[in-house]
């Protein structure tokens, strides 16, 4: 519990207070239904389809969806479009909660925004560091390289391709999914010998398939030993709303001076609508992706995506302030208990699996799962071909003990058959 005491920004707000805050934010925005607003290539949502009905007054997220504010740009730095300043403030509140209360940044020492998803947030990080090395350290493109484990999400190779960087894939042990430090050191030494001088590290807080959490110190120690420049990003797209709550001693946050940025997706564990990835970085970095040509935008565009829906920020705000930190902690604790229940049942059947102790993903050796059961229960394979070695179960909110029990009963029948 220690971790969630002493939060500065995050609290639970009663329903009426939440509603009033959002309605006041909307009032501070331009109102396309009433105001004379001639310049924007935007309006409220089409009234023939999206009625501005009275009941929306009691559904502030939907009301914001219809009002259609644009959150283009980054609102933690410089000016932003004044037409949407009310809801921009609530996006800033979301970022304060995550950057300061959850990920231990000092207040006002970070930048960030709600991005379309984890993919964009990860690419934004790589883009920012690539430019940082090129603009601030005079690095040549071919001297910069990405390091990330083989379990890393495919948004990293996607970003590497877009930004014309190599990705050096670090092997992990088959059973434990832990980074092979000997291989990591060999790869770094070889890269250095091949002229690489600047390393962009992506360290996972919950890999997609295993929920495994890399130890950033594995990278830091070896990179420091070899005296090379590096920047480190945490991909907490999945684990960002789990791990800091389940592991109260986690130091994978801005208290570690080597961690410079984090991706956290609200549209995964937080059950927010799609379009709610979150990117946060230390101050002094995001300027490296300033697009100077974005002159018609009031303020600076420091993001990859351009226009983005303000309703997404409000949806995340609403979830955070409906729960407050204690209820969120409780929710994660329940999911941890269900995960443990599943693991205990698998142990009884001598079925082999991987589970990171602080996460709610269980990845089972495929040889124990008949194909029919995998299909019936929608288990996700590591690869969709005959070489598949793993199936994962993600203990999301809708996965209850009764579902697990029926799954285990069927599995048991197949084990004893
Ligand atoms: C660890 C991790 N990073 C990044 C992503 C990409 O997120 P999105 O699909 O929101 O772009 C995912 C998606 O599953 C993920 O699991």
The CATH number of whichever domain residue 347 belongs to comes to 3.90.1150.10
Residue 334 sits in the same domain as residue 203: no
Whether ligand 1 lies within 6 angstroms of the CB of 149 is answered as: no
Residue 259 sits in the same domain as residue 183: yes
pLDDT (average), residues 293-297? 78
In a domain, residue 77? The reply is no
**With contact defined as beta carbons under 8 Å apart, do 308 and 114 qualify?**
yes
**With contact defined as beta carbons under 8 Å apart, do 309 and 90 qualify?**
no
83-107: pLDDT as tens digits = 999 999 999 999 999 999 999 999 9
Whether ligand 1 lies within 6 angstroms of the CB of 208 is answered as: yes
Q: Looking at 305, 323, 341, which one is the last position of a domain?
A: 323
Q: Looking at 288, 323, 358, which one is the last position of a domain?
A: 323
Residue 317 sits in the same domain as residue 365: no
The whole model's pTM is what? 0.96
Q: What is the predicted pLDDT for the residue at 48?
A: 85
Q: What is the predicted pLDDT for the residue at 19?
A: 96
- Residue 119 CA: nearest ligand 1 atom is 11
Q: What is the predicted pLDDT for the residue at 411?
A: 95
Strands 110-115 and 277-282, sheet pairing: antiparallel
In a domain, residue 13? The reply is no
In a domain, residue 44? The reply is no
Q: At what angle do helices 310-348 and 60-67 cross, to 10 degrees?
A: 130
Q: What is the predicted pLDDT for the residue at 128?
A: 98
Residue 256 sits in the same domain as residue 332: no
13-30: pLDDT as tens digits = 999 999 999 999 999 999
Query: Which protein residue's CA is at the shortest distance from atom 15 of ligand 1?
Result: 208
Which residues span the domain enclosing 377?
A: 326-416
CA end-to-end span of the chain: 45
Q: What is the predicted pLDDT for the residue at 4?
A: 67
pLDDT at 5 over 80: no
- Residue 268 CA: nearest ligand 1 atom is 10
Residue 332 sits in the same domain as residue 291: no
CA atoms of 322 and 198, how far apart (whole Å):
43
Residue 40: band (very low, low, confident or very high) from pLDDT cuts 50, 70, 90: confident
Residue 234 sits in the same domain as residue 358: no
Residue 310 sits in the same domain as residue 344: no
Q: In what order do the strands lie in the sheet with 259-265?
A: 110-115, 277-282, 259-265, 229-236, 198-204, 144-149, 166-170
Number of domains in the chain: 2
Q: What is the predicted pLDDT for the residue at 3?
A: 58
Write the CB contacts of 59 (distance below 8 Å, at least 6 apart in sequence).
Answer: none
Ligand 1 centroid distance, CA of 210 (Å): 13
Looking at residue 316, which CATH number applies to its domain? 3.40.640.10
Residue 266 sits in the same domain as residue 366: no
Query: Which protein residue's CA is at the shortest distance from atom 5 of ligand 1?
Result: 118
Residue 112 sits in the same domain as residue 158: yes
Ligand 1 centroid distance, CA of 23 (Å): 32
pLDDT at 201 over 60: yes
336-371: pLDDT as tens digits = 999 999 999 999 999 999 999 999 999 999 999 999
Residue 253 sits in the same domain as residue 361: no
- Residue 239 CA: nearest ligand 1 atom is 1
In a domain, residue 20? The reply is no
Whether ligand 1 lies within 6 angstroms of the CB of 151 is answered as: no
Residue 298 sits in the same domain as residue 272: yes
In a domain, residue 254? The reply is yes
In a domain, residue 31? The reply is no
pLDDT at 1 over 60: no
Nearest partner of 104 among 11, 10, 12, 13, judged by Cα: 10
pLDDT (average), residues 284-312? 90
118-149: pLDDT as tens digits = 999 999 999 999 999 999 999 999 999 999 99
Residue 405: band (very low, low, confident or very high) from pLDDT cuts 50, 70, 90: very high
CA atoms of 123 and 129, how far apart (whole Å):
10
Average pLDDT, the chain: 95
Residue 36, phi then psi, degrees to nearest 5 = -85, 110
DSSP of 82-104? GGGHHHHHHHHHHHHIIIIIIT-
Query: Which protein residue's CA is at the shortest distance from atom 7 of ligand 1?
Result: 118
Q: Which of 114, 115, 116, 117 to mutate to test the pocket of ligand 1 (most atoms within 8 A of CB)?
A: 117
315-331: pLDDT as tens digits = 999 999 999 999 999 99
Q: Looking at 323, 357, 379, which one is the last position of a domain?
A: 323
- % of the chain residues with pLDDT over 70: 99
In a domain, residue 189? The reply is yes
Joined tokens for residue 209: 């398939």
Q: Which of 118, 121, 204 to mutate to test the pocket of ligand 1 (most atoms within 8 A of CB)?
A: 118
In a domain, residue 24? The reply is no
Residue 116 sits in the same domain as residue 141: yes
Ligand 1 centroid distance, CA of 119 (Å): 6
Q: Which of 153, 156, 241 to mutate to test the pocket of ligand 1 (most atoms within 8 A of CB)?
A: 153
pLDDT at 2 over 50: no
């Amino acid at each position: 519990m220690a971790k969630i005491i002493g939060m500065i920004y995050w609290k639970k707000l009663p329903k009426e207070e939440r509603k009033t805050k959002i309605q006041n934010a909307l009032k501070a925005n331009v109102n396309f239904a009433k105001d004379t607003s001639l310049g924007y290539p935007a309006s409220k949502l089409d009234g023939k389809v999206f009625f501005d009905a009275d009941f929306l007054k009691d559904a502030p997220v939907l009301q914001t969806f219809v009002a259609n504010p644009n959150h283009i740009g980054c609102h933690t730095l410089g000016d932003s479009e004044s037409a949407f300043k009310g809801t921009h403030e609530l996006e800033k509140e979301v970022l304060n909660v995550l950057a300061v209360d959850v990920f231990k940044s000092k207040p006002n020492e970070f930048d960030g925004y709600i991005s379309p998803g984890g993919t964009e947030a990860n690419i934004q990080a790589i883009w920012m560091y690539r430019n940082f090395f090129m603009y601030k350290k005079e690095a040549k493109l071919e001297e910069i390289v990405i390091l990330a484990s083989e379990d890393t999400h495919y948004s990293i190779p996607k970003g590497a391709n877009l930004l014309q960087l190599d990705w050096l894939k670090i092997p992990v042990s088959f059973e434990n999914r832990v980074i092979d430090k000997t291989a990591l050191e060999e790869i770094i030494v070889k890269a250095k010998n091949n002229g690489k001088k600047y390393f962009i590290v992506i360290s996972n807080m919950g890999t997609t398939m295993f929920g495994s959490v890399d130890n950033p110190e594995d990278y830091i120690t070896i990179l420091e030993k070899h005296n090379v420049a590096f920047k480190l990003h945490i991909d907490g797209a999945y684990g960002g709303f789990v791990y800091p709550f389940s592991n109260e001693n986690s130091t994978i946050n801005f208290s570690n001076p080597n961690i410079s940025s984090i991706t956290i997706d609200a549209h995964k564990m937080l059950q927010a609508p799609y379009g709610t990835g979150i990117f946060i970085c230390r101050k002094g970095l995001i300027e490296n992706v300033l697009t100077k040509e974005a002159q018609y935008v009031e303020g600076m565009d420091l993001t990859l995506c351009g226009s983005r829906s303000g309703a997404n920020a409000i949806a995340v705000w609403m979830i955070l302030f409906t729960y407050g930190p204690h209820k969120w902690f409780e929710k994660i604790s329940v999911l941890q208990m269900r995960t443990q229940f599943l693991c205990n049942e698998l142990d009884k059947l001598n079925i082999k699996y991987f589970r990171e102790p602080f996460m709610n993903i269980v990845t089972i050796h495929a040889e124990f799962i008949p194909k029919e059961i995998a299909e019936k229960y929608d288990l996700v394979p590591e690869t969709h071909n005959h070489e598949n070695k793993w199936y994962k179960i993600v203990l999301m909110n809708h996965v209850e003990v009764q579902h697990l029990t029926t799954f285990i009963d069927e599995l048991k029948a197949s084990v004893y058959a």
